Structure 1
Amino acid sequence: MHPAFSVIFLTTLIGAGQGLYLAMVTGQLYAIARFLPAQSEHFYALGSLVALLLLGAGLAASFFHLGRPERAWRAIAMWRTSWLSREVIVLPIVMVLVFAYGMAHWLNWTRPLFQLGEALQVDLTLLLGVLGTLASLALFICTAMIYAAVRFLQEWHTPFTVTNFLFLGTASGFMLAAAYSAYLGNPLVTFYGTWAVILTLAGLVSRLAHLHRNARLKPKSTPQTAIGVRHATLVQKAQGATGGSFNTREFFHGQSQSLVERLRVLYLVLVFPVPILLIGLSYLSASSSLPIIAFCIQFLGLLIERWSFFAEARHPQNLYYQSVA
Structure 2
Amino acid sequence: MHPAFSVIFLTTLIGVGQGLFLALYSGQFYSMMKLLPGQDSQNFYAMGSLLALGFLAAGLIASIFHLGRPMRGWRSISQWRTSWLSREIIILPSTLFFVALYGTIHYFGWTQPVFTLGEMQPVDLSLIIGTLATLSTFALFICTAMIYASIKFVQEWHSPLTVINYILLGTASGFTLAAAFSASIGNELVDFYATWAIILTFTALIFRSVALIRNSQLKQKSSPQTAIGVRHTMIVQQAQGAMCGSFNTREFFHGKSLGLLKTVKIIFLMMVFPIPIVLLLATTAGFEYLSIMAFVIQYLGLIAERWYFFTEAKHPQNLYYQSVG
Give the TM-score band, short-chain normalised. Answer: over 0.9
Looking at structure 1, the residues matched to 88 and 15 of structure 2 have their Cα atoms a distance apart, in angstroms, of: 13
Looking at structure 1, the residues matched to 156 and 96 of structure 2 have their Cα atoms a distance apart, in angstroms, of: 31
Q: Which residue is 2:243 aligned to?
A: 242
Q: Which residue is 1:129 aligned to?
A: 130
Q: Structure 2 unaligned segments of length 5 or more: list them.
A: none
Displacement of 1:324: 4.9
* Residue pair 2:20, 2:171 contacting (<8 A) in 1 also: yes
Does 1:263 pair with 2:264? yes
Q: Which residue is 2:310 aligned to?
A: 310
Does 1:178 pair with 2:179? yes
Displacement of 1:283: 2.2
Deviations 1:60-115 (A, max 9, x none): 00000100100111111011111001000000000000000001000000111111
* Residue pair 1:160, 1:206 contacting (<8 A) in 2 also: yes
Does 1:217 pair with 2:231? no
Displacement of 1:240: 4.6
Does 1:203 pair with 2:232? no
Q: Which amino acid aligns with 1:28?
A: Q
Q: Which amino acid aligns with 2:80?
A: W
* Residue pair 2:7, 2:66 contacting (<8 A) in 1 also: yes
* Residue pair 1:252, 1:322 contacting (<8 A) in 2 also: no
Looking at structure 2, the residues matched to 194 and 113 of structure 1 have their Cα atoms a distance apart, in angstroms, of: 32
Does 1:10 pair with 2:10? yes
Looking at structure 2, the residues matched to 114 and 20 of structure 1 have their Cα atoms a distance apart, in angstroms, of: 27
Q: Give the total of aligned pairs.
A: 324
* Residue pair 1:97, 1:131 contacting (<8 A) in 2 also: yes
Looking at structure 1, the residues matched to 240 and 108 of structure 2 have their Cα atoms a distance apart, in angstroms, of: 61
Q: Which residue is 1:36 aligned to?
A: 36
**1:32-181 equivalence runs, <5 A:** 32-42=32-42, 43-181=44-182
Deviations 1:247-267 (A, max 9, x none): 010001110111111111110
Displacement of 1:22: 0.5
* Residue pair 1:236, 1:324 contacting (<8 A) in 2 also: no
Looking at structure 2, the residues matched to 259 and 236 of structure 1 have their Cα atoms a distance apart, in angstroms, of: 25
* Residue pair 2:194, 2:283 contacting (<8 A) in 1 also: no
Q: CA RMSD in A?
A: 1.2
What TM-score do you get using the length of structure 1 for normalisation?
Answer: 0.97
What TM-score do you get using the length of structure 2 for normalisation?
Answer: 0.97
Looking at structure 2, the residues matched to 289 and 159 of structure 1 have their Cα atoms a distance apart, in angstroms, of: 36
Secondary structure of the corresponding residue to residue 153 of structure 2: coil
Deviations 1:171-224 (A, max 9, x none): 000000000001111111100001111111111111111111111111111112
Displacement of 1:239: 4.2
Does 1:294 pair with 2:294? yes
* Residue pair 2:195, 2:284 contacting (<8 A) in 1 also: no
Looking at structure 2, the residues matched to 244 and 102 of structure 1 have their Cα atoms a distance apart, in angstroms, of: 49
Secondary structure of the corresponding residue to residue 298 of structure 2: helix
Looking at structure 2, the residues matched to 239 and 208 of structure 1 have their Cα atoms a distance apart, in angstroms, of: 36
Q: Which residue is 1:23 aligned to?
A: 23
Q: Which amino acid aligns with 1:92?
A: P
Secondary structure of the corresponding residue to residue 116 of structure 2: strand
What percent of counterpart residues are identical?
A: 61
* Residue pair 2:8, 2:306 contacting (<8 A) in 1 also: yes
Displacement of 1:124: 0.8
Displacement of 1:151: 0.6
Q: Which amino acid aligns with 2:293?
A: I
Deviations 1:9-47 (A, max 9, x none): 000000000000000000000001111010000210000
Q: Which amino acid aligns with 1:40?
A: D
Looking at structure 1, the residues matched to 17 and 104 of structure 2 have their Cα atoms a distance apart, in angstroms, of: 17
Displacement of 1:234: 3.0
* Residue pair 2:249, 2:324 contacting (<8 A) in 1 also: no
